[in-house]
Amino acid sequence: MKFNRSKISLAGLALSLLGFSACSDYLDINNDPTAISDSQVTMAALMPTVLEATAQANYQHAFSICQVAQHINGVSGGGVSSQAEFRIASGWSFNYLSAMTNTNALIKRAQELNAPHYAGLGKILMAYNLQMATDAWENIPYSQAFSLSNLKPAYDSQESIYGTINRLLDEAIVDLGQTTSGFSPGADDLIFRGDRARWRRTAQALKARVAMHLSLKSGGATAATNALAALTGGGMISNADDCQLVFNTRNLNPWHSGVALANNTGNVSVRHSAQLADAMNGTTFGIWDPRLPLIAGRLTANASARTWLGNEPGTGLGGNIDLVATSWHSRNVSPIQFVTFAEQKFIQAEAEFLKNNGTTTSKGTTAAGYTAYLDGVRASLDKIGVADTARTRYLGSPIVAPGASNLTLGHIMVEKWKAMFLNPEVWADMRRWEYSADVYKDLQLPAGLNPELGGKWTQRAQYPDAEFTRNGPNATKNVKPLAEPMWVFKK
C-alpha cells in the first residue's frame, strides 16, 4: 500500500518524540518536561514511523551490502566495491534510533492495552530489524538496548539474537491469530492495511529465511527441514503477499531520491555491476534475461543485447547501464521489499535441493523443489512486468529450466540473487555458500581488494564511529576482523 504525507507527518512526530526520548541509550540528553511521553503517542501514530524507518534501514544496508554482493558497483573505483571497511552508520541509526526504539514502544503499548494484533506486527518488525542488524554487525545491543537506566547497553551474542528473532516471530503468529484485540491496525498499516493473514504469512516466510541462515551451523538438511516446516504452517501464496513498503510521488523511494536523480544529473555514485549485467545479458549463461532492461537504463543507443554492460567490480569502469528514474527499483513509486513470495519459493527450492543431498556441484532435486524453483523465477518475472511472450521464452529455455534431474544449486541461487536485486538479504546467501564460484558462476574478488582481507571476502560491517563514542567499551569488545565469519555463517 502507498502512504501519504499526512501519515508521514504522524510518523515524523512519533520519531521526534521517541527517537529522542525513549532511545536515551544512545543520546545522553536532559529531560524535557514539555516532551510528550511514550504513553501519549498512539499505536496508530507509531506504526507508519516503524514501517518507514525499516524501509530506510533496508536501503541504507543495501547500498553498501549490494556492492559487496556485486549487484552494484561504485563508479569511482575502490571503496566498498573493493571491500574496504564499511560501517552502514545511517543503517544503524534507522535500525536503532527510529525503527526498533519505536517498535519497542509499540509492543509495550499494545501489551498494556491488550492489543495483540498491534503487538504481532510490532514483533515481526522487531525481528526483521534485528535480523538486518545482526547480519551486518554480528553481536548487537538488544536485551539492554531500550532501558532508560542503562546508557551503555551490553551487546547480545548473535546466537542469542537469532533465538530472539525466532521467539518474536512465533509470538507474532500467535498474537495475530487472536480473534479479539483492544485495537487493530488499519490504514496506519501502510503495507497490508491490517490484513492479519498476510502478516502471518510474512512471519512464516521470515522463519523459513532465518532457518536457512543456520545451514552452516545446523547442517544443510536440518536447516532445510526447519525451513520447510515453517512454510508448512502457512507461507505466502502469491506476489500479492509481498511484504514491501510502496512509495509515491510525494514520499520518494530512496533509490530514486538518493541514486537515480543524482545519476541523472551527473552525480553518479553506483551503477549495475558487470557480475549482474553479464549474468543477464547472455555473457555468462548464454541467455538474455528480459528483466535487464526493466531494472536498468541505457547510457548508449546501441540495441545489441550484449552491449548492456555493467561496471567492473572494484574499478567502476566499462559500464553503460544505470539506475535511472524509470528503472523498476529506482522509480519514485517503487517499493522497498522486505520479504517476497519469490524469495520464499527460492527458499523452498534450496531446502528441497539440500534435503535431496544436494551439494555445490551436484545435479538433481525433487519434483517439489523443481516446481518451487520455477515458481520463484516466474514470480520475479511477473513482479517487474516482463511480457508474457518474453516470460514464456525465458522459462522455456533449457538453460533456465533444465529439468528436475539436472537442476543445480547454481540455478537456484543465481536466479534468487537476480530476483532479489538491491535486497540486503543476498549477502547472507553469499556468505552461507562461502562466495562459491560453483554456485555464483564467474564470481571473482574485485579489483583493488582491501589488503586487510588477506585475499578473502569480507564477512561483516564494522560498528559505526558514533557507537564508539556513545558505547565505546562494549563496541570495542565486539570488534572482529573483516574476514572473520560470523557465528551464523561459520561452520
- Identify the pLDDT of residue 263: 86
235-250 tens-digit pLDDT:
999 999 999 999 999 9
Q: What is the mean pLDDT of residues 180-191?
A: 98
Domain limits of the chain? Answer: 5-68+87-194, 257-325
Residue 44: HSE in the Cβ half-sphere, 13 Å Cα cutoff: 11
Classify the C-alpha dihedral 149-153-159-164 as positive or negative: positive
Residue 297 has pLDDT above 60, yes or no: yes
44-100 tens-digit pLDDT:
999 999 999 999 999 999 999 999 999 999 999 999 999 999 999 999 999 999 999
Q: What is the mean pLDDT of the chain?
A: 92
CB atoms within 10 A of CB 474: 18
Q: What is the tally of helices (H) and strands (E) in the chain?
A: 19, 8
- The residue length of the chain stands at 491
Torsion of CA 331, 332, 333, 335, to 10 degrees: 70
Sequence-ordered list of residues with C-beta below 8 angstroms from that of 18, at least 6 positions apart, any chain: 38, 41, 46, 49, 101, 102, 105
- Identify the pLDDT of residue 79: 97
Q: Which one-letter amino acid corresponds to residue 424?
A: P
Rounded CA separation 137/459 (Å): 9
Confidence of residue 305 (pLDDT cuts 50, 70, 90): low
Confidence of residue 267 (pLDDT cuts 50, 70, 90): confident
The CATH number that domain 5-68+87-194 falls under is 1.25.40.390
Q: Please answer whether residues 205 and 344 qualify as being in contact, where contact means their C-beta atoms are separated by less than 8 angstroms.
A: yes
- The model's pTM is 0.92
- Identify the pLDDT of residue 233: 78
Confidence of residue 38 (pLDDT cuts 50, 70, 90): low
